[in-house]
Amino acid sequence: MSLRRLWAVARKEGLHIRRDPRSLGLAIGIPMLMLLMFGYALTLDVDRVPLVTWDQSGTPVSRDYLAEFTGSRYFSFVGAVANYRELERAIDRRDALIAVVIPPDFARRIEAGEAAPVQAIVDGSDSNTAAIVLGYTQAVTAGFNQRIVLEQVQRLLGSQAAAPMELRPRVWFNADLKSRNFIIPGLIAVIMGLIAALLTSLTIAREWERGTMEQLISTPVKAPEIILGKLVPYFGIGMLDVLIAVLMAVFLFAVPLRGSVPLLFAMAALFIVGTLSQGILISTLARQQLLASQIAMISTFLPAFLLSGFMFAISNMPTVVQAITYIVPARYFVALVKGIYQRGVGLETLWPDAVFLLVFSTVVAGAAIAKFRKRLD
């Protein structure tokens, strides 16, 4: 392999990129736009849940109970209703996601030490949100129950009663439980995989469509030099995209970066080499820019979004789908990025994922070179 010929191919590809500023702008602008859109629009946080109430008791005890909801940041009180028809109308119109109904004898039962039933009607159209809202409701009710029981015990004993058990939770890595801290690092991996494959999926196909591939084949340049030479400029663009994405995550979205920055960029470089090679392989097989871009989109973005653990826990997937995720490279890069970003761990913990990325990049780059050599024959 001649470094001189490799550099000549890389320089040629770089000149082509420089003469097409719109493509260069898209290569840098699309990751920024996607990160902004997904970063602000995509959230797993469920708070300010619209709430309506029907307080048939109208007593200080019932108002005290409802104050537990209205005083919480997880609920947003939108109004009170006077009957079930108004309650149903509020939920049907999506004005409220939950309605709390307090019976007329609520206060009497509480004061008598009896169980007082309270009805919570939740819109279950979105099952995940409904489950979280029910959890909030049960937590508020449990807190109110505990306070009432302690007050009753205090009246009977005539002294201050203490709860037999006190839970002191401590959340590691994401103390504020912000979904943004979970989503943004994985989002960087998904976007980088898509952009890198799209960048190179058009290179070989463009040469065939424009008729310049025959001229390139007639030169002494070898297949590895052509492939690696075309990767070099796009690798630089990909690493620039990673830098921009990391800066946006830290300074715009305030996502803490707890791990090693050099390790993060080293793993990103490994992943980008693999996805760039995947794009080259797709371009070599397709020979048409439109077809190549479509294959690149389907083979990178969809698996990375659905099967990498970025949004959906792999352990909750069917067994067959879990087996498929092992061949998705984004699964390992997402694990690496989240481990470095959130937990601050290094290769002593993440080395299996790093080894897979190394194997993936080597195999795909070798396949791209081998397939292109067959085209030269």
pLDDT tens sequence across 176-220: 777 888 888 888 888 888 888 877 877 777 777 776 666 666 677
The burial class, CB within 10 Å (0-12 / 13-18 / 19+), for 106 is: buried
Q: What is the DSSP string of 18-76?
A: HT-HHHHHHHHHHHHHHHHHHHHH------SEEEEEEESS-SHHHHHHHHHHHTSTTEE
Contacts of 190 (CB under 8 A, 6+ apart): 301, 304, 305, 308, 310, 330, 334
Closest CA to 186 of 302, 311, 347, 299: 311
pLDDT tens sequence across 224-279: 777 888 888 888 888 998 999 999 988 988 888 888 999 999 999 999 999 988 88
Confidence (pLDDT) at 354: 93
Contacts of 164 (CB under 8 A, 6+ apart): none
pLDDT tens sequence across 276-325: 888 888 888 877 777 888 888 888 888 888 888 887 888 888 899 999 99
For the chain, domains (ranges, CATH) are: 3-43+178-376 (no CATH), 49-157 (3.40.1710.10)
pLDDT of residue 375 exceeding 60? no
Confidence (pLDDT) at 217: 67
SS3 state at 80: strand
